[in-house]
Amino acid sequence: MTKKQKKVLYRIIAAAILMVVLAFMPVEGYLRFILYLIPYFIIGYDILRKAALGILHGEVFDENFLMAVATVGAMLLGVYNEAKGMEGEFAEGVAVMLFYQIGELFQAVAVGKSRRNISALMDIRPDYANIEDEEGNVEQVDPDEVEPGTVILVQPGEKIPIDGVVTEGNSTLNTSALTGESVPREVSTGEEVISGCVNISGLLRIRTTKEFGESTVSKILDLVENSSMKKARTENFITKFARYYTPAVCYSALALAVIPSVVNLMMGNPAGWSTWIIRALTFLVISCPCALVISIPLSFFGGIGGASACGILVKGSNYLEALAQTKYVVFDKTGTLTKGVFQVTEVHASPEFMENKAGSGEKAEAETEKAKVSGKILLELAAYVESYSNHPISRSLREAYGQEIDKAKVSSVEEIGGHGVTAMVNHHSVAAGNYRLMDSLGIACEKNVGVGTVIHIAVDGIYAGYILISDVVKEQSAEAIAALKAAGVKKTVMLTGDSAKTAEHVAGLLHVDEFRSELLPADKVEAVEGLLAQKGSRENLAFVGDGINDAPVLSRADIGVAMGALGSDAAIEAADIVLMDDNPMKLALAMRISRKCLRIVYENIVFALTVKAVCLVLGAFGIANMWIAIFADVGVMVLAVLNAVRCLKVKA
Amino acid sequence: MKKTYKIEVDCANCALKMEEAAKKVEGVQGATVSFMTQKMKVEFTDSADEKAVMQNVRRACKKVEDDCEIFLE
């Protein structure tokens, strides 16, 4: 409890004791009224003050005003009865104020607690960094003060505070704070490490490469903290609703207080002012919109917090909401449904190239030897041409080549998106890419050569052969597609730049509904736009990519999802929802979280409004008294908050 | 230009009111208040003097919600 909350608690206790004492005190008449004013002011002075300030500032209709009018009204009614010679009822006014404050306090504590729970869940912020001075003394400093290039020390059990490169030591890292999965990761000298991981086994010395503010941890925290700023449609609806609702209720209450009495008077009956005023006041107490206003953002916040604990970062409540209505899911194949780990499966040099490169082997028995040698040269050329590219395919070529690449030998590299790369290698012009590149260079090549990505290579304008690279489908992909279908996704579509043959193979394996192949990056945007035009207005389309070169598509889709984003800043920037690891099942999980969260939001809206509506009607007919009114206000709010906290719990 | 400020506010409805009030202050392009993270994000117009504007924002917020606080460094 904060200091403020404690103060309210003391006031509540003091007022409650005074009320009990007063109930047994044998005092009569106006003295009783004055004595009751003491607990009334103890418990309600701030509300009265706020209501008065509100009126002064022209902000009339808020809950303070409602409470002030209701309780002052109740007190005055007591005085009125007293003046008529009956015994006035003063306890009720004080009690209403007392219970309102108890409710407020309970709410503040409950909200504060769930807020802290969620924040704690997301708190992967490291508190310090260890710096070693010349004498070997270790000092703990604020990670904010560490300059890039400083060597920091991370002991087993500590969080890595800042992104960097390991300069000394071997260890295993636990990435669960970032990904939600505790798959240990081995690191050794020279490897990059990401802040937020926990060092499990060995002592690491890390040279930082970024400032703390630019490190992964800070970026993720920023993103999640800002997520509640992007409000969901439901939240905006409630805000608007509250704006009209409060004045409407106030005028209705006023009408309820005046009209029946006036009508009674005109009909020649006794006016019954006190009855109707009490009903109007009850009406006011019931009507407070707090339960809705508090529980809805709390539900979304809980959902976002729960998701981030599973390694799913949602950048705004609006995206969490949209995700529940996702009917179309479009996947980029590479790195999303497939591992994006390409392996060279075949190297095939053309006969001309073999003749050229393997020298003039005289005998036919040397044929296989020639093929081997020329294949190796082909792979070498490919690895050199692609040496500047970070594309997974290029990486796999370099891996297959397996030797140090002397980048000085490569010049005038030109990447042609969706086609391939051309470059000068050792004074030969080398082109490596798909058949479209060959077509555009006017070089004939074989088009149907097997399942996988085909890299055709031409040297000095002459076709030299191809390299076949296959991608591996992720184990969870088929399951993920099935889970999405089960979650109500109408259509799954796979987009790929690969050949139709490869695409068909993978699509069949995973049971996606549709696939488009041989797409250039621009075609992918077009394909997504086509699908966007097809879908209904309340249906959403999610695009799932690896975030490496599909930023335009990510932003074009209703919801852009980047996968395997651990360590990829670009993906985190571009996407609306970020899956930290590369398990496609996480998307289905994200949808489940979103559904649950939305269900809780609707539950709260319906529950709160129904209880209030029923109580309002009962209040207007005089069936509900002040006590029921207090329940309708505070009770509903507390139940709604407790319900909202359920969003935080995620079953993986 | 955007800046984020730490705030202290007790109820969600008050946070909404603060947001409305902040938006109306001259020099403020847009404002969002997050009750959950107790933060206020203000986007200033190009020519605005951020310090002076924030003083006004704070005053405007105090007006609608007496016991809120915006922490300006």
Give me the residues paired with residue A168 across strands. A205
The residue-averaged pLDDT of A140-147 equals 84
For chain A, what are the domain ranges? 129-158+162-214, 340-472
CB pairs under 8 A between A and B: 60
CA distance B64 to chain A (A): 7
What φ, ψ does residue A605 adopt, rounded to 5°? -60, -50
Backbone angles phi and psi of A359, in degrees to 5: 75, 180
**A297 interfaces chain B, CB cutoff of 8 Å:** yes
- Asked if A393 contacts A469 with a C-beta cutoff of 8 angstroms, the reply is yes
Cα separation of B22 and B37, whole Å? Answer: 17
Name the nearest CA neighbour of A283 among A651, A641, A623: A623
Task: Determine the topology of domain A129-158+162-214 in CATH.
Answer: 2.70.150
C-alpha span between A544 and A335 (Å, rounded): 10
Instruction: Quote the minimal CA–CA distance from A630 to chain B in Å.
Output: 18
Task: Please tell me the distance from the alpha carbon of residue A101 to that of residue A112, in angstroms, as a whole number.
Answer: 16
Q: B41: which chain A residues are within 8 Å (Cβ-Cβ)? A: 226, 229
Beta bridge partners of A462: A459
The more confidently predicted of residues B63 and A20 is A20
Sheet with A171-174, side-by-side order of all strands: A184-187, A171-174, A198-199
Residue with tokens 């190297």: A347
- B2-71 sits in which CATH class? alpha beta
Judged by CB atoms closer than 8 Å, whether chains meet at B32 and A229 is answered as yes
pLDDT bin (cut points 50, 70, 90) of residue A121 is low
Q: Do A49 and B11 touch (CB under 8 A)?
A: no
Residues A404, A407, A411, A415: what is their CA dihedral angle, to the nearest 10 degrees? 70
Q: Where are the strands (E) in A289-403, listed by range?
A: 312-314, 326-332, 338-349
User: Do A118 and B36 count as a contact with CB atoms less than 8 A apart?
Assistant: yes
pLDDT over threshold 80, residue A352: no
Domain boundaries, chain B: 2-71
Smallest Cβ–Cβ distance between B36 and the set A53, A115, A293 belongs to A115
DSSP symbol at A158: P
Residue A365 has pLDDT above 60, yes or no: no
Kindly state the average pLDDT of the residues A581-590: 87
Residue A348, pLDDT > 60, answer: yes
Q: Residue A652: pLDDT above 60?
A: no
Residue bearing the bigger pLDDT, A161 or A230: A161
With beta carbons under 8 A apart, name residues in chain B contacting A301.
36
- Look at B66 and A75; give whichever has higher pLDDT: A75
Please tell me if residue A535 touches chain B, with a CB cutoff of 8 Å.
no
A447 neighbors A435 (Cβ within 8 angstroms)? yes
Can you tell me the distance from the alpha carbon of A320 to that of A308, in angstroms, rounded to the nearest whole number?
Answer: 12
- Give whole-number Cα distances, A276 to A66, A200, A247, A626, in Å: 16, 70, 19, 13
Handedness of CA A323, A328, A334, A338 (dihedral sign): positive
How far is residue A329's CA from residue A235's CA, in Å, rounded to a whole number? 25
Whether residue A389 is predicted with pLDDT greater than 50 in this model: the reply is yes
Per the structure block, which two tokens stand in for A288? 């407070």
The owner of tokens 């003039």 is A360
What's phi and psi for B27, nearest 5 deg?
95, -5
A332 assigned to active site: yes
CA separation for the pair A396, A453 (Å, rounded)? 12
The β-bridge relationship of strands A326-332 and A540-545 is: parallel
More confident: A156 or A136: A156
C-alpha gyration radius of chain A: 35
Measured distance between the N- and C-terminal CA atoms of chain A, rounded to whole angstroms = 32
CA distance B38 to A548: 34
**Statement: residue A598 has pLDDT above 60:** yes
Q: What is the 3-state secondary structure (H, E, C) of A283-313?
A: HHHHHCCHHHHHHHHHHHHHHHHHHHHCCEE
- The residue of A293, A318, A633 whose CB has the most chain B CBs within 10 angstroms, and thus the best one to mutate to test that interface, is A293
- Choosing among 3.40.1110.10, 1.10.260.30, 3.40.190.10, 3.20.20.70, the CATH entry for A340-472 is 3.40.1110.10
What pLDDT does A328 receive?
Answer: 92
Confidence of residue A361 (pLDDT cuts 50, 70, 90): very low
Query: In terms of DSSP H, where are the helices of A457-499?
Result: 477-486
Contact residues on chain A for B16, CB-CB shorter than 8 A: 239, 242, 293
Most confident range (mean pLDDT) of A100-104, A144-148, A266-270, B7-11 is: A144-148
Are A119 and A301 within 8 A, CB to CB?
no
Residues in chain B: 73
> What's the gap between Cα A204 and its chain centre?
32
CB–CB contact B13 A290 (8 Å): yes
CB contact under 8 A, A297 and B13: no
pLDDT at A418 over 80: no
Calpha distance A306→A648 (Å, rounded): 5
Examine the pLDDT at A165 and tell me if it is beyond 80.
Answer: yes
Q: How far apart are CA A152 and CA A600, in angstroms?
A: 45
At CA A268, angle to CA A262 and CA A271, rounded to 5? 40
CB contact under 8 Å between A59 and B39, yes or no, is no
A239 touches chain B (CB under 8 A): yes
B66·A50 Cβ contact <8 A: yes
Q: Is A235 on the interface with B (CB under 8 A)?
A: no
Residue A357 has pLDDT above 50, yes or no: yes
- Supply φ then ψ for residue A84, to 5 degrees: -80, 0
Say whether pLDDT at A471 is over 80: no
Mutate to test the interface with A, among B36, B38, B43, B67 (most CBs of A within 10 A): B36
In the 8-state DSSP scheme, what is residue A150? -
Q: Give tens-digit pLDDT for A267-300.
A: 877 777 777 877 887 787 777 776 777 778 778 8
Catalytic, out of A332, A471, A546, A633: A332
Q: Which of A46, A111, A293 sits opposite B16 (nearest CB)?
A: A293
Residue B34 with chain A: CB contacts under 8 Å: 225-226, 228-229, 297
Residue with tokens 């042609």: A416
- Between chains, do B11 and A115 touch, taking CB under 8 Å as contact? no
User: What b/e string do you get for B33-65 counting C-beta neighbours within 10 Å, with b at 16 or more?
Assistant: bbbbbbbbbbebeeebeeeebbeebbebbbbbb
CB contact under 8 A, B66 and A53: yes
Confidence tier at A330 by pLDDT (50, 70, 90): very high
* 8 Å CB contact of B34 and A108: no
Which chain B residues have a beta carbon less than 8 Å from that of A53? 66
- Strand order of the β-sheet with A420-425 is A338-349, A462-473, A453-459, A428-433, A420-425, A410-416
Cα A75 from Cα A93, distance rounded (Å): 6
- Mean of the per-residue pLDDT values of chain A: 81
Q: Which residues of B touch A (CB under 8 A)?
A: 4, 10-13, 16-17, 32, 34-39, 41, 63-64, 66-67
Q: How confident is the model over A548-584, as pLDDT tens digits?
A: 677 788 888 889 998 876 656 666 777 889 888 778 8
**So what's the pLDDT on residue A329?**
92
Contact A352, A462 (CB under 8 A): yes
pLDDT digits (tens, 9 = 90+) for A20-53: 888 888 877 788 888 888 999 998 888 888 888 8
Percent of chain A with pLDDT over 90: 6
Ramachandran region of residue A602, left (φ > 0), alpha (ψ -120 to 50) or beta? alpha
**Integer Cα distance of A318 and A598 in angstroms:** 11
Q: Is A488 left (phi over 0), alpha (psi -120 to 50) or beta?
A: left
Q: What is the distance, to the nearest Å, from the Cα of residue A35 to the centroid of all Cα atoms in its chain?
A: 54
Q: Do A108 and B17 touch (CB under 8 A)?
A: no
Tell the burial category of A55 from Cβ atoms under 10 Å away from its Cβ (0-12, 13-18, 19+).
middle
Of A81-90, A482-491, A593-602, give the lowest mean pLDDT range: A81-90
* Cα Dmax for chain B: 33
CB within 8 Å of chain B, chain A residues 194-233: 225-226, 228-229, 231
CB < 8 Å to B38, chain A = 115
What digits encode the pLDDT tens for the residues A474-497? 888 889 999 999 888 889 999 887
DSSP string, A184-219: EEEE-TT-EE-TTPEE-SS-EEEEE-S-GGGSHHHH
**Dihedral through CA A528, CA A534, CA A538, CA A540, nearest 10?**
-20
